[in-house]
Chain A
Amino acid sequence: MTRLQAGGLIDRTKAVDFRFDGRALTGFAGDTLASALLANGVRIVGRSFKYHRARGILTDGIDEPNALVTLRGGARAEPNCRAPSVELFDGLEAQSQNCWPSPSFDLMAVNGLFSKIFVAGFYYKTFMWPAALWERLYEPLIRRAAGLGRLSGQADPDSYDRSHAFADLLVVGSGPAGLSAALSAARSGLRVLLVENDSRVGGRLLSERHEVGGQSGTAWAAAALRELAANDRVTILTRTSLFGAYDGNSFGAVERVSDHLPITADGQPRQRYWKIVAAQAIFATGATERPIAFGGNDRPGVMMASAIQTYVNRYAVAPGKRVAIFTVCDTGYDVAADLAAAGVEIAAIIDARGQPTRDVAFAPVIAGEVVRTFGRSLKAIEVRRFDGGMERMAVDLLGMAGGWNPNVGFASHLGKRPDWCDTLQAFRQGTLPGGMMFAGAADGALSLADAMASGEAAARRICDAAAAAQPMVVSAQASPHVVSDSGQKSFVDFQHDVTVDDVLLADREGYRSVEHLKRYTTLGMATDQGKAGQVLGHAVLAQHRDAGMAAIGTIAARPPHTPVAIGALAGVHRGEHLKPTRLTPTHRWAAENGASFVNAGLWKRAQWFTRPGDKDWLASAVREAKAVRSTVGICDVSTLGKIEIVGPDAAMLLDRLYGNMMSTLPVGKCRYGVMLREDGFVFDDGTVARLDDNRFVITTTTVNAVAVMRHIDFALQVIWPGLKAHACSITEGWAQIAVAGPLSRALLQDLLPAIDLSNEAFPFMAALAGEWNGIPMRLFRLSFSGELAYEIAVPTNHGDALVRALALLGRAYGCTPYGLEALGILRIEKGHVAGGDLNGQVTAHDLGLGRMLSKKKDFIGRAMAERPALVDPGRQMLVGLKPVDPAQRFSAGSHLFRKGAAQVASESQGHITSVAYSGVFDHWIALGLLEHGPERIGETIAAASPVRGTCIEVEVCSPVFFDAAGERLRA
């Protein structure tokens, strides 16, 4: 055990039992998994990505590249959790990753012997040839040998929530700068949202020993928290990671509501996704300590100095017994002092700046640098003294204090890259996105006093333009440090095993932009996104090329800042809740009558109604279609878009929307119409009914209901704002049922005895508005099936009553409910186009509807539809198709070829758009688009589906298979 006897922000009265790789261990409440592992003397926690080198805990937070574990098990297994940011809870189970059988004895460590193969760009070099083996052999091999944790492969059993937050000021980070900013803004009366990734507020105050206003730093943070919590204009979210900054001052964050608990509390989600909108944001996100490049700097026992400080002060853990600190900044001295105060032996402070800045009583200070390290877990280091000579030193812990990189990545999310600051010797955010500021260490104010002043000043700038003019304090630092000639691997990206040599190799091979360097070496591409080592990698490049960091630059950080569970983004919108479900007014009735439903956009539509004796769905559909041809059938068509258009210019509007003339339509009549897009292609089709001089109801296809409404609003508001007409969607307002078949008139006459439905009084294409049982009713004599047919509409809440009344009265006539499949058979038999035929690439001319387009008026799409290429007779045009051998079946999507032509894409002359089995003809029929189609009636061609391996001979015929004269629908 390496737990110190006293101190720390842990609760020693509450022991917490957990397991790591099956080993039972104990920590305390307030520990993280990392601090508890260190307290239990666990030094090796995983293996590295490529070389399978033993790795320990490097950092104390979200930037951890090494100590990645899989938490929990079964469907709840979560890979790649960073041990320093996992709160310990009773019963926690953690597994090491990327090693087998164990992190201490890993058989894949043999990869290290082949390290010459695994250099930068090894994917592209080593496994180039033969290319055919790439997918089958190389990639699976590499993925098995080099990888991170594995997904459970099971559905996520947890629930997630979403919330929205609005604030005058968002403060990200609750260290000294963040708290100072939040306090100052809250005192000025701003609505403040404070977001902290940790479970506690305080930031580095929890890790370092400071005095603020006569009290300890942690006590000051606690007092600040009390003041903020008491202010009802302040919201504090702890355990919340801000992961992205987006346009319009909006931000994404994930609150880990239950991840620190053994079991999610009742009624609580596992995580909550916050969508935040804030007028201003202060990023007091601190700085990340950068490592130093020297030989074997990845060995377990080599840690970031600031992390050692955190483990000693916050968790009362000494991660070693004899410590050396390798530093290029004063941080190293502070850490050594804290270790000494905790009773840990300091072997030496090695300061690479040449002139040590401080003389300390508790340890020798050496001007020099650590060159290489020894031991499976650290046993010794070798130091190059600047006054000459090498010195070997026995230590089991080495702290790296390589200076600090401000955490400015969120500005890059909005397209603003940081600039190199010579004073700070780090990237600092010079150009700020609107509404965003950085404060404290995140802005280069590294000392406590400077950080607090910076936070307060940032808050003041929001209220006071004069304050905004004052310059911010920037601390001075030494440059990123790279030790040369170590003879051992010097890592710059620990998680992806990128070394100094890899960076130099990439440079030699011409990958010199930092963005190219990143892709070629994978520097900064792992789950930590290079937070720890990326800038060091860029410094290697800059020093090698003698170019200066300002010229080299750094990469643009992109969201997410920290990994986000997809489940958190999805929230409740998964499975059936991914999209809303729309039920037709007759849904319950249909379900009672054996309907199977199909998704049509958001709608559930009855596809067929299974009856006893139906062999399969096709038998049901054919039976239903035959019933419509012989007696009468009913079908819910409420899903069609319905739009009411009113006003003195309503007729003129319709003339401009439709290709054919609508203003000549008499009151009480319907007309079929085709709408084009302005580019001349068919947009939608439907019917127009004139209920009154200035009142029309139009229908759209189900799929285009929303798009047509938008299109009409565009015409009314953008193209012709002077037209006096209004349009309103009434799709939701009316239930509409098709009543089709030779006996439909008799059935409807029984339903509506007061209305004369004789062919003379209510002929084909008639429309009326009346009443049924005292409620509003609209009746249209429309036929999609080609039979004598009507569509009857009532307010939606009466739709169920209407369909039940029709079914009851219909018993005397053999009335049969029919679904979408029968509807398809009926309309294909009649050559009516729909769905697959109207694919956005066809013209009215292609569909044989060219003559419908008026020459007497302007309408949307007219000019472009008249382009010669769009009326070329060689275009693929609508035809009917039937198999030469009636026993043969074909499928939609089959391509059409000249008989004997090679079945290759260049020979394709069109394709089948709709197929149906016709009960009238007892064979399959189809609609298709075929080059020169109408001129080729009677020709035998081939319909082939290479993906299904089918090819049959088909005869080209008229698309109207049934009742070409249209006598039945006028009967």
Chain B
Amino acid sequence: MIISCPHCGLRDSSEFYFRGEAPTPRPDYEEGNVAFADHVYGRINPAGPQKEHWYHAAGCRSWLLVERDTRTHDFLSVTLASEQGR
């Protein structure tokens, strides 16, 4: 697979670390176990577009928020995770 890193351009997937499906935003401690259980273990595992976290380990060290179609491995979007919600 080839991933378009916002900093480094088109790079081979072997340069990246795949963390998995992006979890829901991390709750605060006060929100309790149940909210954290969903954050830590809750996954949709869709057959189709999925939001994922990839880390350009052998590149710019950016965490990327990636939307990938799990059926075709098409990368629908790649953005810097740090820019989410800004």
Count A interface residues, CB 8 Å: 25
User: Known contacts being A710-B55, A719-B26, A721-B82, is A864 close to B40, with CB within 8 Å?
Assistant: yes
Inter-subunit contact A863/B63 (CB<8 Å)? no
Q: How many residues of B contact A (CB 8 A)?
A: 36
Task: List, in ascending order, chain A residues with CB within 8 A of B72's CB.
Answer: 415
Cβ contact within 8 Å between A710 and B33: no
Q: CA–CA, A434 to B41, complex, Å?
A: 34
Query: With A248-B1, A248-B73, A415-B72 in contact, is A713–B61 under 8 Å at CB?
Result: yes
Confirm or deny: A867 has a beta carbon within 8 angstroms of a beta carbon on chain B.
yes
A residues near B (Cβ < 8 Å) are 246-250, 277, 415, 434, 678-679, 706, 710, 713-714, 716-719, 721, 858, 862-864, 866-867
Q: In the complex, are the beta carbons of A710 and B29 less than 8 A apart?
A: no
A-side contacts of B41, CB under 8 Å: 679
Contact B74 A863 (CB under 8 A): no
Give the chain B neighbours of A863 by CB distance below 8 A. 27, 29, 31-33, 35-36
B86–A721 touching, CB < 8 Å: yes
Task: Assess whether A713 is in contact with B55, with CB atoms less than 8 Å apart.
Answer: yes
B41-78 to A contact mask, C-beta < 8 Å, 1/0: 10000000000010101000111000000011110000
Distance between Cα atoms of A173 and B27 in the complex (Å): 56
A558 → chain B closest CB, angstroms: 15
B26 touches A714 (CB 8 A): no
Task: Name the one of B2, B71, B82 contacting A717, with C-beta atoms under 8 angstroms.
Answer: B82
Given contacts A248-B73, A717-B80, A719-B26, are A277 and B36 in contact (CB under 8 A)? Answer: no
Q: How far is the CA of A759 from the CA of B63 in the complex (A)?
A: 45
Contact of A710 among B1, B17, B40, B71 (CB under 8 A): B17
Q: A717-B80, A719-B26 are in contact. Are A247 and B73 (CB under 8 A)?
A: yes
Smallest beta-carbon distance B49→chain A, Å: 15
B contact patch SS? mixed
10 contacts between A and B (CB under 8 A): A248-B73, A717-B80, A717-B81, A718-B81, A718-B82, A721-B86, A863-B27, A863-B36, A864-B33, A864-B36
User: CA of A866 to CA of B86 in the docked complex: distance in angstroms?
Assistant: 32
**Is the pair A717, B13 in contact by a Cβ cutoff of 8 Å?**
no
The tally of CB-CB contacts under 8 A between chains A and B is 68
A678 touches B82 (CB 8 A): no
Partner-A contacts on B (CB < 8 A): 1-3, 12-13, 17, 19, 26-29, 31-33, 35-37, 39-41, 53, 55, 57, 61-63, 71-74, 80-84, 86
Given contacts A250-B12, A721-B82, A863-B36, 18 further A-B contacts (CB under 8 A): A247-B1, A247-B2, A248-B3, A248-B13, A248-B73, A250-B2, A277-B2, A415-B71, A679-B41, A706-B57, A710-B17, A713-B55, A713-B63, A717-B80, A718-B63, A721-B81, A858-B28, A867-B33
Chain A min CB distance to B68 (Å): 10
For the complex, what is the distance from the CA of A684 to the CA of B40, rounded to whole Å? 18
Complex interface: chain A residues within 8 A of B17 (CB): 710
Q: How far is the CA of A714 from the CA of B80 in the complex (A)?
A: 11
CA distance in complex: A415, B71 (Å): 9
CA distance A710 to B16 in the complex (A): 11
Residues of chain B within 8 A (CB-CB) of A858 are: 28-29
- Interchain CA distance A250-B12 in the complex, whole Å: 10
| Residues of chain A within 8 A of B82, CB atoms compared | 716-718, 721
In angstroms, how far is the closest chain B Cβ from the Cβ of A444?
A: 25
Q: Are B29's CB and A718's CB within 8 A?
A: no
Closest to A727 in B: B61
CB distance from A245 to the nearest CB of B (A): 12
Residues of the B chain whose Cβ atoms lie less than 8 Å from the Cβ of A714: 19, 53, 55, 63
Is the pair B33, A678 in contact by a Cβ cutoff of 8 Å? no
A860 — nearest CB in chain B belongs to which residue? B26
Please name all residues of chain B whose beta carbon is closer than 8 Å to the beta carbon of A713 when the two chains form the complex.
55, 61, 63
Q: Which residues of A contact B83 (CB under 8 A)?
A: 721
> Known contacts A415-B72, A863-B36: does B2 contact A248 (CB below 8 Å)?
yes
